[in-house]
Amino acid sequence: MRVSTYRRASILALVSLVLLLSCRAGEPIRAEPQPAADAPRLIILIVVDQVRADFLERFRPLFQHGFLRLLEEGFVFENASHHHSDTKTAPGHASLVTGKHPSHNGVIANDWFDPTSGKTVDAVEDDRYDPEWSPHRLLASTLGDWLKVSDPRSKVFGASGKPRAAVLMVGKTGDASYWYEEDTGRFVTSDYYREDEPAWLTEFHRELYVDRYFGQAWEPLPVVASAGVVYEIEPVEREPFGHRFPHPLGRATVAPEEHFYEDLFEASPFVDEYLGVFAKALIRSEELGKDPVTDFLGLSFSATDKVGHHWGPNSPELLDVILRLDRTLGDLLAFVDQEIGREQVVVALTSDHGVNPLQTYLQRQGVDARRLGVDDILCFQRLAGGLERRFGEGKWFVADLRFDRELAAAR
């Protein structure tokens, strides 16, 4: 996990601010609280989904923009890690903003079996709202919540490709969280935060930014082709993602449609660039960092996770995503410099979880690893059928993993 800042004194200011807010969390809110003179005007938490700490050192010679700037100008905390076992998106983001382990913040996985309802529940799914996402399962307060307690004038926003990340980063009292809607290519929010979208968001979508990628394939940056073994990069030779660059986006249609917007999110680096553009519009439109009251913006970049799951952490595709994100972060930081001023902003860079190499890559490194084969899959699929033939019909497994012992005892 990496944490960086523009200026070295800023980390101390942020730590002092967090300690101050934590101590004051139980005190009544006073009218017109006065911000500390050295408090930052804006805190930006950047989470890069599924990026291992070693990526920053492994690819450092290739960085020229945002990652390089944060590494050179900020602190790097090397002895920092997630200590919970289920390192996934939801528990990772919840732990980062609450400072508590999943067992205490309430978000133990992306989804889990709820013995009370007998169903699998999602970390942020909530059918009381439209779209049906909210932080109702989050049991702990967050950095954004502490800011609101310290000074209700603080603005707290979050944005990501994923609703889980966006929702959890802003806590329960955030002004709004925004995420990418896969079937429309738009950034949306839930009426948990507000009943209608702000005018600036409507204007932002007047000409849909991502439509510029329609009719283009995902081609790698020139440096990716020459990376090779020096950076532990190998093309993936397995299905269903065994095909190499270039990668088409969407299907054979004459205009952008839901499959195109879905591919932008599920199998390309471009959703991260889109988030960077959206973040600049949000900062400017909501006037973040424009007064002495500390604001918070959480940004979670998701393409590394999506591409990492498909092609693995040693693929040319993953390297291309990382290098494009380096450019996006550089552009965003330059915008913040101009819009707010680097001395007024604290930036923290980290990740919610890491990733294992693909089994095929490990095998070539001499590691005893394999993928589930046809026989393994059929074994699982036929298990319930075997129980039905022996003991009779019934829903023998709950949520695909829990054996129904009560049903078994009744038979």
> 67 in helix, strand or coil?
helix
**What does the block give as tokens for 261?**
């917007």
Listing DSSP states for 278-346 in one string gives HHHHHHHHTTTTSSSS-EEEEEEE-HHHHHHHHH-TTSHHHHHHHHHHHHHHHHHHHHHHHHT-GGGEE
CA distance 339 to 168: 27
Token pair listed for 300: 């979670």
CB atoms within 10 A of CB 238: 12
Q: Which of 89, 294, 304, 328 is catalytic?
A: 89
| Known active-site residue 294 | no
Q: Looking at this protein, which amino acid is placed at residue 58?
A: R
Give kind and range of the element (H or E) at residue 385: helix 374-391
Task: Quote the tokens at residue 246.
Answer: 């270039």
Using CB atoms within 10 A of its CB, is residue 31 exposed (0-12), middle (13-18) or buried (19+)? Answer: exposed
Dist. CA 291–CA 344, nearest whole Å: 10
Active site residues: 89
